[in-house]
Structure 1
């Protein structure tokens, strides 16, 4: 059986040490399109080591992140789980920030399968990653939802209700984030080197007109847009950020982010205006400080 739920949930966490430098942070931010207006003092703080700020979504790639250890060309290699890579899809991502991420530092990262949900035609595997600094203080917790097509129907818990709607009023803010045609080529240097994001022939075999932008790049781009446009450029105000990946984006297209604010909760919807508002990120919420 490809998924042994009990074995997956009871396996001991894998633990590794990770470190990063200011260069890693700067490269990550450049991969999100930061620094285009290099004379803007606020923008320079994302890409220059003097007063360098760190987006909380850097947690996705710090020390290469949980996905680098979990997803390999051979498939999803986890205790109790043996699934062909072609069957899986990164369906959603959440992040909880416990403390500001330093511009250079180290962390002990623990990874485990936190849940396996039965969606009928698919299984959803929730990979949780927790990071602590050298003093044992929590830095961040992430949860990656991986959809495994054809692996459901085993009689397990269906998981939380996936329904979500944006407020029935105009958004409080709409933010535009143009991407460059080399955006994926830059972003992949920080994270996922999958040829889907670089090789036109490979992308066509996968059913795309050309290489697509990483979903986690869109995740970071939207987070930066909200920090810049709603949170006065202060990344430490982000407490949580969760999304569902709803559609692909081609490098060179724009991400348009609509934001509705209700106290310390932001509802977010990211779409592509060049393709008639096709959704990119949905079911998106951000809790702020």
Structure 2
């Protein structure tokens, strides 16, 4: 069988050294649509090196995303990458990401679940520098045609939306060249750039990277509810529910409060979380991101 579950899970983590500086951070932020308007003080914290902070979702591309690449090369995995879909992503921050850094990234297969017609591989990447842990990323990858081996189905990630209107709803227009910019951070899949390749995959034009939408959404939460304070974020996870195309508009709905209730303000509360749902405004609110939660640290 292409996936040897016991061997993959028991394999030693793959380690690699990754490094980044302000240029990597700025390029990543620009790929998410930062810098509009270019002289807006709130946008300069994403684009100007003297004021720069780091959006926590940068962890997914640090070192050109070598964590996922290392995990997919683990012993026991012999799969066709054309059958792989990115199902979900979660990032846990242990402390704010520095603007310049060098870290050791360790990747391993944390679990393999049997969904019947597909297998789900959970790749865990942990990064640490000389001062200790930085972040932990979990990526769930669906591998079509590799289920049915009798393994555990794994936990369900479905999350009901609060039974009330969102506390905030914002729209973010995706740049026409967003995928071309974002891929410079390390994801060179031609699905996001080559129209002919996209047609072979069943799309009439290239689609946007799911992780680009992921980052755009977190930026919207930070700017709308957290006053631009990226240090408030403890973790951020979502399930990829549908595709979106460059040039379309994301509609981002946010609910604040620990239990889905209104905490009465725009600051995300003193701790707690923000629940998020993202749809495509151009296609009758077709789902894009679902089961999204931003967990917060206490506001000190």
TM over 0.5: yes
Name the Cα RMSD after superposition: 1.1
Equivalent of 2:96 in 100, 114, 117: 100
Distance 1:109 1:95 in 2: 14
- Quick one: which of 225, 231, 234 aligns to 2:226? 231
What's 2:261 paired with?
none
Alpha-carbon separation, structure 2, partners of 1:257 and 1:224 = 11
In the other structure, the counterpart of 1:269 is 277
Q: Segments of 4+ in structure 1 off by > 4 A?
A: none
In structure 2, what is the equivalent of residue 153 of structure 1? 148
| CA offset digits 1:129-158 (Å, max 9, x no partner) | 0000123x1100000000011111111111
* Aligned partners of 1:26 and 1:47 also within 8 Å: yes
Distance in 1 between residues matched to 2:94 and 2:226, nearest whole Å: 18
Equivalence for 1:174: 169
TM-superposition CA deviations, 1:79-138 (whole Å, max 9, x none): 111111121101100010000000111111000000001111111000000000123x11
Q: Give unpaired runs (5+ residues) of structure 1.
A: none
Distance 1:163 1:19 in 2: 35
Compute the TM-score of the two structures, normalised by the length of structure 1.
0.96
- State the distance in 2 between where 1:223 and 1:163 align: 19
Distance in 2 (CA, whole Å) between partners of 1:116 and 1:128 is 12
Contact 1:257-1:268 at 8 Å conserved across structures: yes
Kept in 2: contact 1:107–1:133 (CA 8 A): yes
- TM-score using structure 2 length: 0.92
Are the equivalent residues in 1 in contact too, given 2:88–2:139 (CA < 8 A)? yes
TM-fit CA distance, 1:78 = 2.3
Aligned counterparts of 1:47 and 1:279: Cα–Cα separation in 2: 30
| Partner residue, 2:35 | 35
Q: Secondary structure at the match of 2:185?
A: coil
Which secondary structure does the structure 1 equivalent of 2:51 belong to?
Answer: coil
